[in-house]
């Protein structure tokens, strides 16, 4: 027999966006049903952010051993137990999993239905043996790895971010299709853990980011031995006794690239299939569910957040949007999403962070007034840690307002935190100049860049004349 639930709010998806929505609503005493067919925690916990950062951390320790001689410490080549590294990754997931578990959310007062959700009409969802008729719905169904249509790929064993962390044996030669954040992060992690790595990218590596900042990251990967092939379109894949072979097409013609393992990392597609969106009157396409600036779908009862809503595919964006939709759902407050202050970080070493407009974006929009750059090499903390590669790049608009910032270098993600606040609060160069940064820290780099904005004024004749005049008064 089917049971029928009539909650105030039904959340579809137990990833970052869905869990944030459900937990916050339940904290206010709202009757919430959460529907999740897979693992609680979604991609971020199980297949994305958490395992990838754990693997990168292991690689960073191996790199630190190799680089220790510059500090007067000799340890030799690290001995890597690849299976033990994967145990470390699994342990990190296990440590975090209770925070996202069914048990925890049930204790919060959320009714969890472990089944696939599908709309059967505008205000009703079927999930296994449960019918859910709610006042409001939030779809947070996430996304899945996109698999390109390449001849031979379907017949070839390959990994995605959802399966690569289950690999217990170290690959001899990992070939990665895709030079975005996932591909580049996994390339460096596996190279540092002793694998030969080749990355094939049909366009430009990390193409959404500022090329000047990207160059810092790519230089490090090349120095560590990662083979980076830009402008290399994969046109065929085959397997044989010796392993697998990819045929690529470049400006010079066709050639083959042999390897032992293959990771496909060419982006993600929103999980819009199987949700019964047509039955609910919800518009969608291959890019995701259609939403307005209020994150509402074409069905006024239904909101969509996170990857499935077709916007930036980041865990923190899903959480941000989840917080936004609670305003109209709980308090009848208006909602208009901002995207001009959303940060992103690629967690390579050195890291690459960006918030707001890049130089190219601001120039194209006609809002660029100045660009401020300060190198890591001019920072005392960077000198002490011998991490001199990198820079901070601040994009300045009208009236000195900071409309964007990019950072490439060690701990760039942490510096991006500061820059995110600056951009979100529409601060000016003067605000960043006047903030007091503890010495010696890497965040001083941003402050120095802001201070340098005023250097030209020191050379202006009228400013110098004013200083001389004022000096006469004692």
Q: Which structure tokens are listed for 264?
A: 């496909």
Q: What is the pLDDT of residue 382?
A: 97
183 is in an annotated binding site: yes
349 is in an annotated binding site: no
440 is in an annotated binding site: no
Q: Above 90 in pLDDT, residue 124?
A: yes
Q: Please check whether residue 148 is in contact with residue 267, taking contact to mean a CB–CB distance below 8 angstroms.
A: no
Q: Above 90 in pLDDT, residue 457?
A: no
15 is in an annotated binding site: no
178 is in an annotated binding site: yes
pLDDT in tens, 280-338: 999 999 999 999 999 999 999 999 999 999 989 999 999 999 999 999 999 999 999 99
Whole domain around residue 231: which residue ranges? 164-266
Phi, psi angle pair for 455, to nearest 5°: -55, -45
Residue 157 maps to a domain: no
Q: What is the pLDDT of residue 474?
A: 72
- On whether both 225 and 115 belong to a single domain, the answer is no
Using 50, 70 and 90 to split pLDDT, how confident is the model at 454?
Answer: confident
Residue 473 maps to a domain: no
Q: What is the pLDDT of residue 400?
A: 95
179 is in an annotated binding site: yes
152 is in an annotated binding site: no
Listed residues 232, 266, 300: the one ending a domain: 266
Q: What is the spatial distance between Cα 325 and Cα 330, in angstroms, rounded to a whole number?
A: 9
Q: Which structure tokens are listed for 119?
A: 């709309």
181 is in an annotated binding site: yes
- On whether both 22 and 115 belong to a single domain, the answer is yes
Q: Please check whether residue 23 is in contact with residue 108, taking contact to mean a CB–CB distance below 8 angstroms.
A: yes
**Number of C-beta neighbours around residue 151 at 10 A:** 12
Using 50, 70 and 90 to split pLDDT, how confident is the model at 409?
Answer: very high
Beta strands 343-346 and 173-177 are unpaired
- On whether both 129 and 15 belong to a single domain, the answer is yes
Q: What is the spatial distance between Cα 163 and Cα 298, in angstroms, rounded to a whole number?
A: 35
Residue-wise DSSP of 219-271 = HHHHHTT-EEEET-EEEEEEEETTEEEEEEEETTEEEEEEESEEEE-S-EEE-
Please give the radius of gyration of the chain, using alpha carbons only, rounded to the nearest integer: 25
> Which run of H or E residues covers position 45?
helix 42-46
- On whether both 140 and 8 belong to a single domain, the answer is yes
Residue 130 maps to a domain: yes
Residue 464 maps to a domain: no
Closest CA to 218 of 162, 175, 163, 179: 179
Residue 291 maps to a domain: yes
Residue 388 maps to a domain: yes
Q: What is the spatial distance between Cα 361 and Cα 370, in angstroms, rounded to a whole number?
A: 13
Q: Above 70 in pLDDT, residue 424?
A: yes
Question: Any idea what the CATH number is for the domain that residue 233 is in?
Answer: 3.50.50.60
Q: What is the pLDDT of residue 370?
A: 96
Helical packing angle, 16-27 and 315-331, nearest 10°: 30
- On whether both 200 and 141 belong to a single domain, the answer is no
Residue 466 maps to a domain: no
- On whether both 326 and 347 belong to a single domain, the answer is no
> How large a percentage of the chain has pLDDT more than 70?
100
Q: What is the pLDDT of residue 418?
A: 96
Using 50, 70 and 90 to split pLDDT, how confident is the model at 250?
Answer: very high
pTM of the complete model: 0.94
Q: Above 90 in pLDDT, residue 277?
A: yes
Question: Any idea what the CATH number is for the domain that residue 440 is in?
Answer: 3.30.390.30
CA 34 to chain centre: 25
- On whether both 389 and 326 belong to a single domain, the answer is no
Listed residues 218, 236, 266: the one ending a domain: 266
pLDDT in tens, 135-151: 999 999 999 999 999 99
Q: What is the spatial distance between Cα 295 and Cα 279, in angstroms, rounded to a whole number?
A: 19
Secondary structure of 277-327 in the HEC alphabet? CCCCCCCEECCEECCCCCCECCCCCEEECHHHHCCCCCHHHHHHHHHHHHH
Residue 152 maps to a domain: no
- On whether both 446 and 378 belong to a single domain, the answer is yes
- On whether both 220 and 366 belong to a single domain, the answer is no
Q: What is the spatial distance between Cα 294 and Cα 304, in angstroms, rounded to a whole number?
A: 10
Dihedral sign (CA 201, 207, 209, 213): positive
Q: What is the pLDDT of residue 1?
A: 60
- On whether both 138 and 282 belong to a single domain, the answer is yes
- On whether both 227 and 350 belong to a single domain, the answer is no
Residues 6+ apart with CB under 8 A from 216: 350, 352, 389, 390, 391, 408, 409
| Domains in the chain, number | 3
Q: What is the spatial distance between Cα 422 and Cα 372, in angstroms, rounded to a whole number?
A: 15
End-to-end CA distance of the chain: 92
180 is in an annotated binding site: yes
Alpha helix (H) ranges present in 147-225? 181-192, 211-223
- The DSSP output letter for 159 is B
Q: Above 90 in pLDDT, residue 276?
A: yes
> 243 has which bridge partners?
240
- On whether both 350 and 292 belong to a single domain, the answer is no
Listed residues 237, 266, 295: the one ending a domain: 266
Q: Above 90 in pLDDT, residue 234?
A: yes
pLDDT in tens, 366-406: 999 999 999 999 999 999 999 999 999 999 999 999 999 99
Q: What is the spatial distance between Cα 279 and Cα 203, in angstroms, rounded to a whole number?
A: 39
Give the mean pLDDT of 30-34.
98
Give the mean pLDDT of 415-441.
96
Q: What is the pLDDT of residue 467?
A: 79
310-315: long-range contacts, CB 8 A cutoff, minimum separation 24: 310/270, 311/339, 312/339, 312/342, 312/344, 313/143, 313/268, 314/342, 314/344, 315/15, 315/16, 315/44, 315/48, 315/49
> How large a percentage of the chain has pLDDT more than 90?
93
185 is in an annotated binding site: yes
Higher-confidence position of 73 and 457: 73
CA 425 to chain centre: 22
Q: Above 70 in pLDDT, residue 464?
A: yes
């Amino acid at each position: 027999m089917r049971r029928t639930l009539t909650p105030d709010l039904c959340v579809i998806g137990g990833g970052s966006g869905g869990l944030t929505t459900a937990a916050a609503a339940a904290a206010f005493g709202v009757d919430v049903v959460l529907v999740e067919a897979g693992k609680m925690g979604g991609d971020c916990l199980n297949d994305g952010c958490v395992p990838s950062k754990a693997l990168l951390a292991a690689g960073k320790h191996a790199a630190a051993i190799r680089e220790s001689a510059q500090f007067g410490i000799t340890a030799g080549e690290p001995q890597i137990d690849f299976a033990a590294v994967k145990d470390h990754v699994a342990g990190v997931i296990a440590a975090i999993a209770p925070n996202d578990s069914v048990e925890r959310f049930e204790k919060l007062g959320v009714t969890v239905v472990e089944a696939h959700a599908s709309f059967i009409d505008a205000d009703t969802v079927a999930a296994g043996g449960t019918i859910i008729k709610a006042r409001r719905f939030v779809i947070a169904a996430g996304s899945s790895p996109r698999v390109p249509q390449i001849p031979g790929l379907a017949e070839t064993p390959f990994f995605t971010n959802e399966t690569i962390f289950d690999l217990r044996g170290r690959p001899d030669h990992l070939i990665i299709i895709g030079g975005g954040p996932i591909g580049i992060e996994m390339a460096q992690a596996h190279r540092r853990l002793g694998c030969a790595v080749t990355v094939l990218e049909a366009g430009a590596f990390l193409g959404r980011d500022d090329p000047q900042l990207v160059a810092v990251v790519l230089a490090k990967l090349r120095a560590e031995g990662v083979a980076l092939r830009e402008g290399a379109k994969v046109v065929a894949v085959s397997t044989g006794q010796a392993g697998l072979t990819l045929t690529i097409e470049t400006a010079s013609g066709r050639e083959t690239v042999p390897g032992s393992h293959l990771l496909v990392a060419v982006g993600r597609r929103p999980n819009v299939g199987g949700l019964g969106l047509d039955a609910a009157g919800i518009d969608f396409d291959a890019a995701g569910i259609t939403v307005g600036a209020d994150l509402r779908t074409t069905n006024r009862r239904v909101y969509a957040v996170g990857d499935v809503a077709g916007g930036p595919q980041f865990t923190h964006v899903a959480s941000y949007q989840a917080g936004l939709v609670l305003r109209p759902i709980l308090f009848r407050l208006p909602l208009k999403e901002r995207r001009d202050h959303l940060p992103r970080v690629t967690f390579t070493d050195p890291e690459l962070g960006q918030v707001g407009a890049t130089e190219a974006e601001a120039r194209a929009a006609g809002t660029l007034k100045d660009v401020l750059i300060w190198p890591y090499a001019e920072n005392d903390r960077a000198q002490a840690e011998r991490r001199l590669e990198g820079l901070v790049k601040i994009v300045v608009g009208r009236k000195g307002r900071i409309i964007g910032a990019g950072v490439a270098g060690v701990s760039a993600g942490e510096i991006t935190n500061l820059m995110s606040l600056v951009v979100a609060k529409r601060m000016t160069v003067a605000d960043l100049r006047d903030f007091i940064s503890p010495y010696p820290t890497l965040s001083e780099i941003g402050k120095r860049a802001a201070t340098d904005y005023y250097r030209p004024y020191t050379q202006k004749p009228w400013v110098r004349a004013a200083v001389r005049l004022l000096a006469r008064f004692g």
